[in-house]
Amino acid sequence: MKIKVLNNKKMIILIAIILLLVILITLIVNGINSNNSENQNTVSISFNKSEEEIRNIIEKSGGNFIRLQESAEKGFSCDIYLYFAIDLFDKDGNSQEFAYTNLINSLVKNEKKNIRLIDTSRDITIRVYYNSDSDFYYYTINGEENYFENHLSQKSLENYKKIPETELTINSNEINEVIKNNWNVDNTVFGTKDSLYRDYDIFHEEGIKVKRISGDIFNIVFNKNYSSEIVNGLRVGDSKDNIEKTLGKSNMQQGNIIGYKNKDIYVFFSDEEVSVYRCNTYKYDEFESLLRDYIDSKISVKEFTNSLTYLWDDYVEYNYDSNYVSLNYNSQGVSLYLTRDDPTNVTIYNNYNNLESISDLIGSNKITAELDTDGIFSTEISRLSNEAVFVDTAGLPEYTGNSERFVEIVNNNNVEFKAKDETKDISCRLTEPINSYLWFSDTIFIYSIQNKGIFYFDLETRTNKEIITGNQTYDFNSFENGILNYDDNENIEIGSD
């Protein structure tokens, strides 16, 4: 067999072709790498914060930054790989939502992009979404919305224990009379009404204030002016040790509030008051039918809330606008806060008396549960919090003077009064929004109502009288030597009678 040998010329041509192929392949590979490098560089361009800024934010939270890269998931600008500083829940099962939300807010501030935060060591993927319509961020954890609420709800359901009833002997004549008449009595049961304060009828001399909802008594509060025994020989101002010695350890405690319930009433003791609510039993069939129809989108939010307020008209709170509905039925153990972003935010509390029939909705995260919280206990906490003085004099003239005996509580130009000496507990309010005001003395309050006049209110006797009437603004400018200057330098003498 003959072997064909290439001559020198042909060999040179072959080598040249091979070299050209090697150069071409090298250029192609370098081009791909260059494109990848450019893609990586676009991450920092598409995300306003630099890697160093991201690293600093994460390390400030106690975590560790790993890398920033183009997102592997469509619709997201980038992926941030990191080690979170803490688990989603601590060893006692407490939510770490606040820490996670703070970190997320710091990372996405001014970005207006969808991003992912990935911690492979904890198997956590957080998808952060930006809603351009509402300029609002929200996030999911491992694909689950309302992750923390849902998991706390599940834990609440698993650990549910109904708050036990305490044997109570009711000593108060007023409470016994109210119970006997199914919580629907007139004010003569309590004494002489002095004023109205934050929806409470005030019976100052008797030491009682009463709130009604839909005509029925909802809450009775006793202060130190009430000297009689209330339950089990206990009075206003008794020590916590004495209360627990008499009634046992409470299942409802927060700060200085300690509470008990039986089949008829809830009773809460605080430093200066004893507060009593009705303990009622409700039928939930119609509510649950409406709730399921709403969750299944068979009825609108308007149909749902309208039907619900018709079914139960004894709501504690009902607020709404075009973006939300807040509706609280604390006696029933139900609250709703429905928004466009979270249209099924329905919460069930410990005093819901038909839990078994909706446990499937809680179990499937259709609604949430806070079964370690009693709805009425939550109401009492809110009541005491709202007793804090809130003064907002924005828009009112600078001159107000002061009183050594009373504090004025101004909110949107509506005025309420509370005694500085809590033992006096004189609380009342003016019935109309005011324009200007001043303290004439410790007990006399001078105020104006636009287009109506200037008036004189005596807090000692809780009586009103006109000083001047007419169709003017009545803006107070100054008050000196008994002369009130108002509007465009008009004057009037203010006397004590």
What CA–CA distance (Å, rounded) separates 336 from 320? 11
Neighbouring CB atoms inside 10 A of 345's CB total 18
The owner of tokens 């109570």 is: 168
Kind and range of the H or E element at 465? strand 463-469
pLDDT (tens digit per residue) in 289-329:
999 999 999 999 999 999 999 999 999 989 888 888 999 99
Sign of CA pseudo-dihedral 158, 118, 60, 66: positive
What CA–CA distance (Å, rounded) separates 419 from 202? 13
Tell me which amino acid residue 130 is: Y
As beta bridge partners, residue 213 has: 216
Single out the residue of 487, 485, 484, 402 nearest to residue 443, CA to CA. 402
The owner of tokens 């995260």 is: 365
The owner of tokens 């992750």 is: 147
What CA–CA distance (Å, rounded) separates 350 from 281? 13
As beta bridge partners, residue 209 has: 202, 221
pLDDT (tens digit per residue) in 68-126:
999 999 999 999 999 999 999 888 888 899 999 999 999 998 888 899 999 999 999 99
Angle between helices 51-60 and 97-108 (to 10 degrees): 160
Which class for 343: exposed (0-12), middle (13-18), buried (19 or more C-beta within 10 A)? middle
What CA–CA distance (Å, rounded) separates 72 from 78? 8
What are the residue ranges spanned by the domains of the chain? 51-145, 173-278, 285-385, 406-493
pLDDT (tens digit per residue) in 266-281:
999 998 899 999 998 8
What CA–CA distance (Å, rounded) separates 290 from 299? 8
- Per-residue pLDDT at 1: 33
Q: Among 3.40.50.300, 3.40.50.720, 3.40.33.10, 1.10.3720.10, name the CATH number for the domain at 173-278.
A: 3.40.33.10
Gyration radius of the chain over CA positions: 34
What CA–CA distance (Å, rounded) separates 325 from 305? 8
- Per-residue pLDDT at 205: 84
Rounded (to 5) percent helix, strand, coil in the chain: 25, 30, 45
pLDDT confidence band for 183 (50 / 70 / 90): very high
pLDDT confidence band for 41 (50 / 70 / 90): very low
- Per-residue pLDDT at 463: 83
Evaluate if residue 39 carries a pLDDT over 50.
no
pLDDT (tens digit per residue) in 369-421:
888 889 999 999 988 887 655 555 556 666 677 888 888 888 778 888 888 77
